[in-house]
């Protein structure tokens, strides 16, 4: 079993590292010369994402339910139209 798995694993690893000329040619010279983006800590990002309070989440859920009901109503009207 191990002998059969080893070539498959080798193929998977080498296929991920093979350079693709189609993709390499699409990168502009300015993009190649640009600095790497600045890394930011994820703590504040997660804190902002978690700041949605339960009452805000409930209102957002109701809004989505209303939109879905409106889309269903409009779809029913379109189905009822004669062709």
Joined together, the tokens standing for residue 43 give 């703590």
* Closest of 72, 49, 52 to residue 61, by C-alpha: 52
pLDDT given for residue 69 in this prediction: 95
DSSP conformation class of 47: H
Q: In whole angstroms, what is the distance from residue 81 CA to residue 62 CA?
A: 29
Which DSSP letter does residue 18 get? S
Q: Which residue has the higher pLDDT, 49 or 40?
A: 40
Distance CA(35)–CA(78), nearest Å, equals 52
Distance CA 9, CA 61 (A): 45
- Distance (Å, whole) CA 47 – CA 51: 6
For the stretch 63-74, pLDDT in tens is: 899 999 999 999
- Report which of residues 71 and 48 the model is more confident about: 71
């Amino acid at each position: 079993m191990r002998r059969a798995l080893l070539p498959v694993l080798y193929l998977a690893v080498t296929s991920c590292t093979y350079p693709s000329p189609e993709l390499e040619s699409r990168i502009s010279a300015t993009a190649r010369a640009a600095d790497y983006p600045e890394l930011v800590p994820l703590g504040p990002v997660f804190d902002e994402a978690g700041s949605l309070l339960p009452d805000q989440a409930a209102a957002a859920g109701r809004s989505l339910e209303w939109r879905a009901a409106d889309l269903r109503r409009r779809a029913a009207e379109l189905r009822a139209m004669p062709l």
